[in-house]
Amino acid sequence: MIHQVCKLPVANQLLSDIMALQIAILEAAAQVQILDMVLDPAVFTPILQAHLETKRRFRGRSDAIARWIMTSNRGVRNSLVEPLNAFANASQVEKAQFVADIQRDIMLLYRPKASTFKVTVLENEPLGWRKSARNFLYEFYDLWQTGFPGYIFSASNEKYSRQDFIREFEKLNPGLFICAVCDGSAYITKAVKHIYTSVDHFFPRSIYPHLSCHPLNLVPICSSCNSYIKGDNNPLLLNGQHFQLIDFILPYQRLEIAFSKKAYIAVVKRPPGRNKLQHPMQLELKPARDFQAGNKIIAFENLYRVDERWSESLDEIEDHAFRRITQFLTLIDPVNLTTDPAALIRYLKALMSQTDLENIGKDPYAFPMVWLFKSYIDQIEAQKENAPVFIALKHWASFNCRRWEVLEAHSLEIERRLPDA
């Protein structure tokens, strides 16, 4: 992640109940073996209820929960019972191992190590009991859209929906207005009663269905990152490369470990053979001096291709940066500053610091902009009056020496657009 995101205590608590419930249901289904028979709600409901009653966090509410599972209709069919039925038709030993592996994977995501998940379900796998378990978990996640009933939860009795999760994320990340992955665009749109966003499953639910409700696997990001770029790609096996959990800066990790704090961006020449429409320079994410990055940058770039996306938007990022410089200079002394490289460097350093302290996570591309400013500073330090950015700013200042008067006149023009009071 480029930006740090804060953990969500309510989601952590409520979704841990949901994962425990999913496991308990699979455990109950793993105990029964009704070969080639339709799982009869009249038979399975009491089995499920009795099993839930053995779990402390569901005790006393097992009846309501079991009935909800067995009657959770979406459309004409019961979305949970059908796949559960198919899951029941497998050997008890295999199913018990599967459920144990799921539990291990869930714990692993709470404490990531140099390993990978045990359970993966592949799209092209034949429809067997494993795929049925996937479909059960998949359908379960979809029920979150309208909300899980309050009686599921051990520490709340209010309905809990995906929208509640998004609201908690927004509330606990108050300074984050920009997608935590790409730094390029807003990640939410608000209407009167709804916040629209893409909730990314960092480990896709199509491959890791048992992590579909894991609170540390769910993060609201922009839809370009989620749908167009990442899609269902498997972070742990991508472009022929295998990765482990510790190869990532996972969402909600401890403070101060996002790339905006632990990496810098190098502005370098594109290798020969670029398309003529492409910018001659490109941006590359690199580990900061004190950061033991391991595979973290490679794994992140493999998944979200942020370097490439920033480089393709470099004209736009430069435009943002240049306007920030000229707006800053307008308020100081544009003509004198653009005759003195040393003075200009001092102001560019102030602007670089201010952008790093105040704009990151709030304005699009603030992170690459900090490092564009740094590249301009280096350029002026090396080439003084001959630095292209110095020449461009001098040119700008000579045409805008009466900038204040122009802006004052324009402010009157803006105010004139309002109707008379």
Residue 182 contacts Zn ion per CB under 5 A:
yes
Would you say 155 and 161 are in contact if contact means Cβ atoms under 8 Å apart?
no
Residue 222 contacts residue 187 (beta carbons within 8 Å): yes
The torsion of the CA quartet 207, 136, 210, 124, rounded to 10 degrees, works out to: -20
Which range binds Zn ion by CB under 5 A, 147-155, 182-190, 258-266, 278-286? 182-190
- Residue of 363, 332, 364 whose CA lies nearest to 348: 332
* Chain CA centroid to CA 311, Å: 20
Q: Closer CB to Zn ion, residue 186 or residue 350?
A: 186
For the CB of residue 229, give the shortest distance to Zn ion in the complex, in Å.
Answer: 8
Query: Per rule CB under 5 A, is residue 366 in the interface with Zn ion?
Result: no
Nearest approach in angstroms of CB 181 to Zn ion is 4
- Shortest gap between Cβ of 166 and Zn ion (angstroms)? 15
Lookup: tokens for 289 = 């001096």
Interaction residues for Zn ion, span 185-224 (CB under 5 A): 222
Q: Which is nearer to Zn ion, 121 or 222 (CB)?
A: 222
Identify which of residues 49 and 197 has a Cβ nearer to Zn ion in the complex.
197
> How many residues touch Zn ion (CB under 5 A)?
5
Minimum distance from CB of 2 to Zn ion (Å)?
A: 9
Determine which residue in the list 179, 211, 213, 258 makes contact with Zn ion, applying CB under 5 A.
179
Q: Which is nearer to Zn ion, 21 or 297 (CB)?
A: 297
Could you give phi then psi for residue 6, rounded to 5 degrees? -90, 145
Q: Which is nearer to Zn ion, 133 or 222 (CB)?
A: 222
319-340 as b/e: b if 16+ CB within 10 A: ebbbebbbebbbeeebeebbee
Q: Minimum Å distance from CB 308 to Zn ion?
A: 13
258 binds Zn ion (CB under 5 A): no
Q: What are the start-end ranges of the H helices in 144-265?
A: 162-172, 223, 259-262
Choices 62-70, 181-189, 230-238, 316-324 (CB under 5 A): range interacting with Zn ion: 181-189
In b/e form, how buried is each residue of 143-180, taking b as 16+ CB within 10 angstroms? bbeeebbebbbbeeeeebebbbbbebbbeebeebebbb
Which residue of 66, 181, 283, 303 would you call a contact of Zn ion, by CB under 5 A? 181
CB of 175 to Zn ion, least distance (A): 17
Cβ–Cβ < 8 Å for 370, 360: yes
The CB-of-184 to Zn ion minimum distance in angstroms stands at: 6
The 123-162 site mask, x for binding Zn ion (CB under 5 A), equals: ----------------------------------------
Q: Are 306 and 284 in contact (CB under 8 A)?
A: no
Could you tell me the sign of the dihedral formed by the alpha carbons of 54, 58, 61, 63, in that order? negative
Helices (H), 72-207: 81-88, 92-110, 129-143, 162-172
Q: Give the binding range for Zn ion (CB under 5 A) out of 162-170, 177-185, 208-216, 241-249.
A: 177-185
The answer to whether 225 contacts Zn ion (rule: CB under 5 A) is yes
Q: 90 or 182, CB closer to Zn ion?
A: 182
Which residues contribute to the site for Zn ion (CB under 5 A)?
179, 181-182, 222, 225
